[in-house]
Amino acid sequence: MKLEDFPKDIRPFIIPNHDGDLIYRCLGCDLECGIEKLLYTCPDCGQVLMIHDLNWERLKKISGEVWRRIFDYRKMLTIPALKGIYLYHEFLGPVIPLDAVIYLGEGHTPIIEANDYLQKKTDVRFYFKNDGQNPSASFKDRGMASALSYISFLVKKGVVSDILAVCASTGDTSAAAALYASFLQPHVKSAVLLPHKKVTPQQLSQPLGSGAAVFEIPGVFDDCMKIVEMLSENYSVALLNSKNAWRILGQESYSYEIAQAFEYNMEEKVVVLPIGNAGNITAVISGFLKFYETGVIDSLPKILGVQSEHANPVYRYYLEPDAANRKFVPMVVKSSVAQAAMIGNPVSMPRVIHLVDRYNRKSGRQNVFFVEVSEQSIMDWSLLANRNGHIACTHGGESLAGLVTAREQNIVDGNEVVIVDSTAHALKFSGFQDMYFSQSFPEEFKITPAPGLVNTPIYIHPSDLAKVPASGNPLQGNDLKHFVKRTAEEIAKNLGLKKVTKA
Ligand SMILES: *Cc1c(COP(=O)(O)O)cnc(C)c1O
Ligand SMILES: [Zn+2]
């Protein structure tokens, strides 16, 4: 839609102006620093940073009603820079000029309602929001679109050049980082550190295909993270892990999209997320708070964070009901099918503690909950979801297993409508499905395949067939006829098909 065709009162707001005034603020000591520099932790106390808009109050001068119309009308624009996360420009990047925005098709992922079977089975009405339908097939693209748009902005301003972007990753961060960085080559190059044999073949192929330098490190993600921190403290590199507060900003778009998809009515809604490094839950909570404070939404949805029993430091922290007695203890993780969330010492834990407290206070009640789930239930629920029309990755399965657990514990009640985050595409983690189907899960996962969920290919080669076709070697004449007839018969027998008698 052309600008002149928008309603008169909305027209001045349709193209965002970049009148935000962003700063980094330390969560530990409140130190504020300018954003002209790439900064990841507080130069004074080393704590993580959040990005704040000193000019935030200006957004409150526009009513919630007008904001809702701005976002809804903005969807009709054809400007690429406003088609992704920057549809909500004022809320997540109000200093980034549109010509610096990197848009590769991220965001606005579909929200798909579960069929009757799944809703009966779980006893709750729910939808999957498929963040696997982002360009690199996980939600990490939201944060990278933000972080790389910011870098592109600095490059355009001439503040930086020849950037080497680095990250440690459980697989998806590096896929996203490498993809977005490659768009900005030759100004930006990327290097990624992965725990050796702890990412899937698909995840490994992604940064390789994007041309990143890929390093495989012994150990788990937490070890890679330490090395990346050492690199960022001693060398001139841009850190793209979720320590990078720009990534959190970009990931807030997930909340804005949910609000918009439900016509900004967040009453009796629940959002379920898996937790690894805790960047995602940080962003989602922060996003809903921003929409709430500006009147875009009138109530805050319930947030449910889910962790596997094999990597559950956040869940353990909140087991202690008395906030004063809570103590964060990093843990040693065990193998998990929710491999991208296999993190024992989440970088964003201070952000979680800060934001959960604020969220509950603003809600006037406890509104953030945490549950843990077994590896078995993660696999079973992701497979069952996918047998019912979904494309959930194991983390989507983890979210769904968490929802079922929360429903059983009455954390979620039958009237609520739930949005379940499937954080990546099922195909990225299909190796776990293979292990399930071929009964070859290593002992440490403690997973026993349920026969009803197992599915394997059936090779059809009737024993009485002397000749079968091969590539480059087709059958002809009677050989072909015989082959087709016998193979069809075999398949019909296998499926129990009855022959139709021709009239
Ligand atoms: C990164 C990731 C997670 C965990 O998100 P955090 O922000 O680290 O908590 C979950 N699922 C998938 C598919 C991921 O890539
Ligand atoms: Zn500080």
| 324 shares a domain with 372 | yes
| 346 shares a domain with 401 | yes
Q: Which of 293, 251, 267, 315 shows the shortest CA–CA distance to 93?
A: 251
Instruction: State the CB neighbour count (10 A cutoff) for residue 108.
Output: 17
CATH number at residue 246: 3.40.50.1100
Q: Residue 222: its pLDDT value, please?
A: 87
Does residue 15 form part of some domain? no
| 263 shares a domain with 241 | no
Q: Is the pLDDT of residue 38 over 90?
A: no
| 280 shares a domain with 369 | yes
User: Are 208 and 214 in contact, with CB atoms under 8 Å apart?
Assistant: yes
Q: Is the pLDDT of residue 18 over 90?
A: no
Ligand 1: distance of its center to the CA of 172 in Å?
A: 8
| 225 shares a domain with 272 | no
Does residue 434 form part of some domain? yes
Does residue 234 form part of some domain? yes
Query: Quick one: pLDDT band at residue 293, thresholds 50, 70, 90?
Result: very high
CA distances, 340 to each of 19, 143, 335, 344, 390 (Å): 36, 16, 11, 12, 19
Average pLDDT, the chain: 96
Does residue 29 form part of some domain? no
Q: Which of 289, 35, 48 shows the shortest CA–CA distance to 151?
A: 35
Region label for 483, one of left (φ > 0), alpha (ψ between -120 and 50) or beta (otherwise): alpha
Instruction: State the CB neighbour count (10 A cutoff) for residue 244.
Output: 30
| 319 shares a domain with 172 | no
Residues in the 5 Å CB sphere of ion ligand 2: 26, 28-29, 31, 42, 44-45, 47
| 400 shares a domain with 319 | yes
Ligand 2: distance of its center to the CA of 423 in Å?
A: 31
| 330 shares a domain with 291 | yes
| 462 shares a domain with 400 | no
Q: Is the pLDDT of residue 503 over 80?
A: no
User: Are 148 and 188 in contact, with CB atoms under 8 Å apart?
Assistant: yes
- Containing structural domain, residue 171: 139-251
Tally the domains of the chain. 3
Q: Which of 233, 251, 269 is the last residue of a domain?
A: 251
Ligand nearest to the CA of 142: 1
Does residue 488 form part of some domain? yes
| 367 shares a domain with 291 | yes
**Ligand 1 proximal residues by C-beta, below 6 Å:** 138, 140, 172, 242, 274-280, 340-341, 393, 395, 423-424
CA distances, 465 to each of 176, 250, 474, 484, 496 (Å): 49, 59, 15, 10, 21
Q: Which of 251, 266, 291 is the last residue of a domain?
A: 251
| 129 shares a domain with 206 | no
Does residue 308 form part of some domain? yes
Tokens 């054809």 correspond to what residue?
78
Query: Quick one: pLDDT band at residue 42, thresholds 50, 70, 90?
Result: very high
Q: Which of 226, 251, 276 is the last residue of a domain?
A: 251
Residue-wise pLDDT for 465-502, tens only, equals 989 999 999 999 999 999 999 999 999 999 999 999 88
